[in-house]
Structure 1
């Protein structure tokens, strides 16, 4: 790779080279420890004599900006200092707006590989040991062959037809969703689907209603767009529809597995929600993030399948069924907003990666996805049952589980006063990752407890981990 240096004319060659190298070092474009090209190569690149380059290197070395290492070359001195003050956020005209973004919390930020604890109860993480590596590798190799035969143009913003057909068939079979391939837009995870819908529906100052407690990244996204987010309480039947405020333009719900508490929305409440949204002229986002995994009770229809007026957008993701790193999701859109969302997608990133799309289309059509879901269902069911047994047993003096029938996390609410931050801190010291549920409350009174994910922890690790939690609870009282 060539060093970017531009020489104009034939005058002051050494001065031009000196100024550009010094500015590159001062600005950080040439980082501390970076190796410069040999003087002969740089001279040929920019069309000057080797002596001009050598003399410039010598001057910068004398000033302490470069350092020569015998037999190795010339490097930027690790102790070279920036000569000009860099603008800080408070110096900029957009300082107030930057402050708003900086103030947004990140309650669901996953740990890095290096900071992952031995026993992790984080929500949203999947079981890696069950991932069908061989099948996915075959599908990826097929995708690479397809791309090699392609013309090299950009793909469609709505997603590959093969993947949209596969998604339409999958969700019609597993969730009863009424949607054709032409109703689907493929996105980079469910979060981008939420972003695109919000972009075309909301304006600064408009009202969004969402469950409280609810999915914090969605709340933060709506607030970042300038919307006024109204938290609506939930009870055992789901969102309390009669408390959705007048003037609401967008309603965000998780009816199949309420996030974070876990209960499903009753049929009567769903019907009331559809009627209220139609009355308001509002769009409903149904985030069906992990309902493929059901352990008890009758399967419930998606809210979208009950919609006869074209007001429900069904959002799904493959991050929970496959891997979070895959970053592929989708939205089944009503006709009224499809065109606008498609334009927003094109303006945002043109289209999602076609390599992953081709691979996933093959993965679904070959039946690998359904087989994988069935395998994971068995694994998750065993983990869920063991956690419930512990919560009903030796952990029952402190916690009670919220009844839930689907997904791979549950909420355990405090029965007595528990210092949750202290519990989490002491648990981390013994390699147990615990996460609070109170960060998902906004307007309604906070309930304290834990959100217990069982996607990332092995069955045989659950008892040792919860033994440590119990011991800590006994110590702190």
Structure 2
């Protein structure tokens, strides 16, 4: 390894080396467990005798900062003291801003591998057992070959052309989206798409209209940019358009599968929303996060397909159809904001990683994605049906399901008073992960209940998990 040490002159060589290594270890620049170069190699690099280096290593070993391992080398001792940070956040000029960011809640943060429970009803997660690993591996190998042939330059901020072409064909087929390749920007998940759009549309104090209840990470993002988020109630037809305030600059909606309640936006309400946005000069973000999984009724096209005035930005993600860890999403941009979003994307991260982009392009073009969606659709439909049966059966004394025809989560509203916090805590003690609905309500009255995701839990685990939930409900009355 290369170790950054600078020796000045020919005096006190051992002392210079000792002081620099001691400071590097004490400051944490050389982390516990880091291996130091062999004494002969370091001596050659510094132009000093090997004895100087060996004596310095011996001194630091005696002091407990280094440890020698026979046959392996010299390492920074794992018990080396860690430096105390002298400055705290309150000492900084930006302390107020830091406190604002730290105070943001994380209602949809997924558990780590170590904290995952045996039975997880978390929303937005998929079952790893359904992931087509063999097909994805073949596509990744093809992507590596393509990258090896490239020039080594940065890629385009809008994304790899092959992937944008594949996305355009896929969403036209599956969601009726009307777009060309050039309308699409590939992003690091849907969340980055929201961030980029908000960056170019909003200013501090701008009004954003959002469904309430609604997707909290989007709300927090808009608020972090200094926007005023106006909560707009929803009913069985979707967002109540007549309550979108004057002066609104951005409207965020989930029309195909309202998050978190689940009902689709009706056709008259969609038409009214498009007209209202045009009158306001506002941009609509249509977050179409999981509507490729539809179980009942006639398919509904995207809101974007109805847009004749260029006010809708369609945002999609592959986190729900494939894996969240891939962090691949996209935005279909209307002409008015296309150029600005591209500049924001380039300034933010230059472009998304090209390896998964090339892999996904082949995955879609070879038909693997549609096959995977059809396979998952069958699995999710079975899980959904079983949960609905339980909610209509032995759990009906406490909960009722909100009618929903798409996605892989549902809302279960309380029919009688239930201590949801206590239920969730007791469920965790028996390895069942439950999640409250109330965290997605902001200004409208809270409707207590649970958001039940069925993407991550295995079908055979549903009944044992819900048996435990039923027993807890009986226990707490």
TM-score (norm: length of structure 1): 0.96
Tell me what 1:38 maps to: 38
Tell me what 1:310 maps to: 310
Tell me what 1:256 maps to: 256
Q: Which runs of 5+ in 2 are unaligned?
A: none
CA deviation profile, 1:339-379 (whole Å, cap 9, x unmatched): 01011111111111211111111111111111111111111
SS of structure 1 residue aligned to 2:285:
strand
Q: How far apart are residue 388 of structure 1 and its match?
A: 0.4
Tell me what 1:381 maps to: 381
Tell me what 1:329 maps to: 329
Tell me what 1:149 maps to: 149
Cα distance in 2 for partners of 1:185, 1:110 equals 26
SS of structure 2 residue aligned to 1:37:
coil
Tell me what 2:400 maps to: 400
Cα distance in 2 for partners of 1:128, 1:72 equals 38
Cα distance in 1 for partners of 2:278, 2:449 equals 36
Map of 1:18-29 to 2, 5 A cutoff?
18-29=18-29
Distance 1:429 1:62, change over 3 A: same
Distance 1:201 1:39, change over 3 A: same
Tell me what 1:270 maps to: 270
Q: Which runs of 5+ in 1 are unaligned?
A: none
SS of structure 2 residue aligned to 1:177:
coil
SS of structure 1 residue aligned to 2:330:
strand
Tell me what 1:295 maps to: 295
Question: Is the contact made by 1:209 and 1:251 (CA closer than 8 Å) also made in structure 2?
Answer: yes
CA deviation profile, 1:279-334 (whole Å, cap 9, x unmatched): 11111100000000111111112111111110100000011111111111100000
Tell me what 1:11 maps to: 11
Question: Is the contact made by 2:28 and 2:83 (CA closer than 8 Å) also made in structure 1?
Answer: no
Distance 1:190 1:80, change over 3 A: same
Distance 1:182 1:466, change over 3 A: same
Cα distance in 1 for partners of 2:279, 2:247 equals 10
> Does 1:52 find its partner at 2:47?
no
CA deviation profile, 1:161-218 (whole Å, cap 9, x unmatched): 1111111111111111111001000111101100110111111111111111111111
Distance 1:83 1:231, change over 3 A: closer
Distance 1:66 1:162, change over 3 A: closer
Question: Is the contact made by 2:253 and 2:284 (CA closer than 8 Å) also made in structure 1?
Answer: yes
TM-score (norm: length of structure 2): 0.96
Tell me what 1:184 maps to: 184
Q: How far apart are residue 8 of structure 1 and its match?
A: 2.8
Deviates most, 41-50 or 85-94: 85-94
Question: Is the contact made by 1:26 and 1:84 (CA closer than 8 Å) also made in structure 2?
Answer: no
Distance 1:272 1:315, change over 3 A: same
Cα distance in 1 for partners of 2:297, 2:168 equals 25
Cα distance in 1 for partners of 2:279, 2:259 equals 25
Tell me what 1:98 maps to: 98
Q: How far apart are residue 111 of structure 1 and its match?
A: 1.1
Cα distance in 1 for partners of 2:82, 2:327 equals 39
Cα distance in 2 for partners of 1:394, 1:248 equals 45
> Does 1:345 find its partner at 2:352?
no
Distance 1:138 1:85, change over 3 A: closer
SS of structure 2 residue aligned to 1:435:
coil
CA deviation profile, 1:14-38 (whole Å, cap 9, x unmatched): 3322222122112111223433333
Cα distance in 2 for partners of 1:305, 1:455 equals 28
